[in-house]
Amino acid sequence: MDNTFTDNTDQVLSLLGEANASRINNLKLSISLAQKALTLSRKMEDKALTGKSLNQLALYHMILGDYKKCLETAEEAIVYFKELDDERGVADAKYSIAGIYYKTDNYHLALIHLVNCIATYRKFGDHYNEARTHKSLGTIYEFFGDHRNAISSYENTIELAKKAGDLNIESNAYNPLSGIYLKQNEVKKAFTIVERAIAMKQGTGDTRGLAFSIYARGKAYFKMNRFVEAEQDFKESLRIHLEMGEILGTGMAYLKMAALYMETGRTDEAKNTLNTALAFANTHNIMIIKFKCSYRLYLIYKQENDMVMALQNLEQYLTTKESVINTQTLKIIENYEHITKMESFEKEAKLQKEKADIIEKKEIAERSAKVKQDFLSTMSHEIRTPLNAVITITSLLKDKSDPEDQQLLSSLKFASNNLLLIINDILDFNKLETGKVNLDVRSVNFVNLLENIYRTYDSMAKEKGLKLNLNVGSGIAENYELDGTKISQILGNLISNAIKYTDYGHVNFNITKIKDDQSSDWLRFNIVDTGPGIPESYFSEMFESFSQPKSITTRKHGGSGLGLAIVKKLVELHDSRVQFISVMNKGSEFYFDLQLKRSVAPIKSPTKRSDELKNKTILLAEDNMINAMVARKLLSNWGIISEHAKDGLEAVKKANEKEFDFILMDIHMPEMNGYDATSSIRNSVNPNQNTPIFALTADITAEHEEEYTTSFNGFLRKPIEIDKLYEALTTVNL
């Protein structure tokens, strides 16, 4: 009996070893062998071998693009490995699941899984698996446009692969690394490493990997305008991908071939290739290939002046892209590119404008207004919602990570916070444009406010080797009646601009009293830098939206181009105006005057929250499971007992069943939105007809829907502003 068991164990391990060896040139055989191993493992009732077999199957299904089967097998594997307390087995399964996430555009979920995998593999000194995990991390950073960290991840992959003695993993990192070098116009460097990758693949016999390396070399040839060699490589790559059943690689090869045909004026071949790619993408439901094909077809038909087909493909592009955007993270990625890379943002705006031009004279003004409103609503909800999870979960992970992992998480958190700041700039600008911003004046400790602003930007200045000086003049009161948030926004934009455009010297942040009366002081705020100065030709457009001086702006400066436009409008909201003096090669000064009423010291909020919310009950309506988890964790810290509803229908059902002390209602949910759910609760007989209901939403346009606003006790923003949420719950009349 023991001999039989040993023989069966050896057979399973042999099958799995053969399956692993076959995956570089015959994935279907790998799946067949791994399935046999799984069947035999189940028959033996060996949990370790069953989990191992499931893990390999999950990996093969992930590579082939069968994500449903991959997820099913990986999750079943995790159950076995958790029972066995096998951390490495769990990590292997999570690696496959991460592959599904980033291949289906859920990059933030992929990153969370991959960071956990790296910690486990490092713990066990597993260089091979740590290397391939870093390779996947590089892919995610590359999609975020964070080339610095992408390169770092790929270099880590190469170093670890060398330690593991695995040429395939090493060469896998050279392919995307060459793509980044091409984007940076380092063509020779890109070509050298991709040739090295091809040699390695040929040496190891990795046919599937060879196709990706040949494709990467084709891109290098394309960049060098060596179109004949590029076409040969794309065709060879396509042939291998089709033979191997590599879905995403096939779609990528079709797209690059079409781009080459367009570049060389072979329009008919480009159209045929794109239509073939579309059919392939439809068969395999590769959404990103679909909308890229539609966009290229739109460009071709527009160039041919076939406006009917151009409009048809543009509509298809926008519709398909919106379908892709229904996944949270691609919204982050695409809008990250739209906002942090202004050329991409302008390109999208141009597409919308061209669409309006094509359908001309069909209520353009009305349609444009609706597009703008829809865009703002979508942007605020669909980006801020996942950012709420990304920022919070990154913070939670960072507390549990080792220093090396913290560097990765810090990069993600910085990118997320930077994106949130730029989004807020755009949304605030829209509210200022429509006159929906008022000053929230209250007694503020002015000196503390100035010191907090100084501390916020001092580290930014130090990173550039600059000195930031805060100079508070004599006679300035300690407390004034003012809107601290708006003042911080004005000064923050001016100071960050000064630091951003100054490479040597200092930035002075000065406040002086210029006159007073019995109750008020007139204060002058000025920010002086030793930067390059602003060309006189730019003075007239200085405060226009999306405007930056081209002669001094480089990609390193970044930004949305809205900072000074927002400053201008916020200063005008205070019945003042911002002015400037600038001398080329000497520096610039921005200044404005405000009349502020002196006040007594503001009442300080208690540093520790009381237990007044303990044992209160909340119904939380939230369709995003990660955000629901984050919110419930926060509420539990205050002693609140929460119950979750995944959509508006379930919220109405639960509201009919029992009484709650509060209801927190998301606005954009499936089945029934938050507006309709709240209306139903308010207008029907149920235990919560008069319960305080707060909208907890990432859509900044929600509070302006006058038809619904009276149903809510207030509107709270996502990402969650913890103090405002607590204040709302403790001050509402129960």
Residues of the chain with CATH 3.40.50.2300: 617-731
Q: Which secondary-structure segment (H or E) carries 443? A: strand 442-445
Top-level class of domain 617-731: alpha beta
Angle (CA) 358-360-364 rounded to 5° is 120
Helices 207-223 & 227-244 angle (0-180, nearest 10): 160
Cβ-in-10-Å burial (0-12, 13-18, 19+) of 600 comes to exposed
Coil, helix or strand for 580? Answer: strand
* Rounded Cα distance, 527 and 510, in Å: 6
**Would the pLDDT of 372 be above 80?**
no
Which range of 75-84, 434-443, 707-716 scores highest in mean pLDDT? It is 75-84
Q: What mean pLDDT is predicted for residues 300-312?
A: 86
* Rounded Cα distance, 663 and 724, in Å: 15
Tell me, what amino acid is at 369? Answer: A
Least confident of 308-312, 353-357, 381-385, 574-578: 381-385
Residues of the chain with CATH 1.25.40.10: 1-113
Q: Residue 598 forms beta bridges with which residues?
A: 480
Q: Which residue has the higher pLDDT, 480 or 710?
A: 480
What pLDDT shows up at residue 374?
Answer: 53
Q: Which residue has the higher pLDDT, 511 or 456?
A: 511
* Rounded Cα distance, 692 and 710, in Å: 12
Residue 566: pLDDT band (50, 70, 90) is: confident
Question: What's 639's DSSP letter?
Answer: T
What pLDDT shows up at residue 399?
Answer: 57
**Would the pLDDT of 198 be above 90?**
yes
What pLDDT shows up at residue 370?
Answer: 53
Q: Which secondary-structure segment (H or E) carries 590? A: strand 587-598
Q: What mean pLDDT is predicted for residues 671-699?
A: 88
Percent of the chain at pLDDT > 90 equals: 27
Query: Do β-strands 520-529 and 506-516 pair in parallel, antiparallel, or remain unpaired?
Result: antiparallel
Q: Which residue has the higher pLDDT, 55 or 329?
A: 55
Least confident of 492-496, 553-557, 603-607: 553-557
Q: Which residue has the higher pLDDT, 323 or 607?
A: 323
Q: Could you tell me if 416 and 391 are in contact, meaning their C-beta atoms sit under 8 angstroms apart?
A: yes
Contacts by 88-91, CB closer than 8 A, 24 or more apart = 88/120, 88/121, 88/124, 88/126, 88/129, 89/48, 89/51, 89/52, 89/55, 90/120, 91/116, 91/117, 91/120, 91/121, 91/129
**Would the pLDDT of 427 be above 50?**
yes
What pLDDT shows up at residue 184?
Answer: 87
The pLDDT tens digits of the residues spanning 444-470 come to 899 888 888 888 778 778 888 899 999
Least confident of 14-18, 234-238, 555-559: 555-559
Q: What mean pLDDT is predicted for residues 152-170?
A: 91
State the first-to-last Cα distance of the chain, in angstroms, to the nearest integer. Answer: 71
DSSP 503-563: -SSEEEEEEEEEEE-SSEEEEEEEEEE-S----GGGGGGTTSTT---TTT--TTT---S-H
Residue 234: pLDDT band (50, 70, 90) is: very high
DSSP 359-391: T-SSSHHHHHHHHHHHHHHHHHHHHHHHHHHHH
What pLDDT shows up at residue 339?
Answer: 33
Mean per-residue pLDDT of the chain: 80
**Would the pLDDT of 265 be above 70?**
yes
Percent of the chain at pLDDT > 70 equals: 76
What pLDDT shows up at residue 150?
Answer: 84
Is the entire prediction scored with pTM above 0.75?
A: no
Q: What mean pLDDT is predicted for residues 158-163?
A: 92
Q: Which residue has the tokens 């406040």?
A: 511
**Would the pLDDT of 380 be above 70?**
no
Contacts by 338-343, CB closer than 8 A, 24 or more apart = 339/419, 339/422, 339/423, 339/426, 339/560, 340/145, 340/418, 340/419, 340/422, 340/558, 341/145, 342/546, 342/560, 342/561
The pLDDT tens digits of the residues spanning 712-728 come to 888 887 777 777 888 88
Residue 271: pLDDT band (50, 70, 90) is: very high
Angle (CA) 302-307-311 rounded to 5° is 90
Q: Which residue has the higher pLDDT, 536 or 626?
A: 536
Closest by CA to 23, choosing from 70, 75, 63, is: 63
* Rounded Cα distance, 557 and 548, in Å: 10
Helices and strands: H and E segment counts in the chain: 28, 12
- Homologous superfamily of the 1-113 domain (CATH): Tetratricopeptide repeat domain (1.25.40.10)
Closest by CA to 596, choosing from 441, 438, 448, 432, is: 441
DSSP 186-200: -HHHHHHHHHHHHHH
Residue 105: pLDDT band (50, 70, 90) is: low
Residues of the chain with CATH 3.30.565.10: 442-598
CATH architecture, domain defined by 442-598: 2-Layer Sandwich (3.30)
Q: What mean pLDDT is predicted for residues 212-223?
A: 92
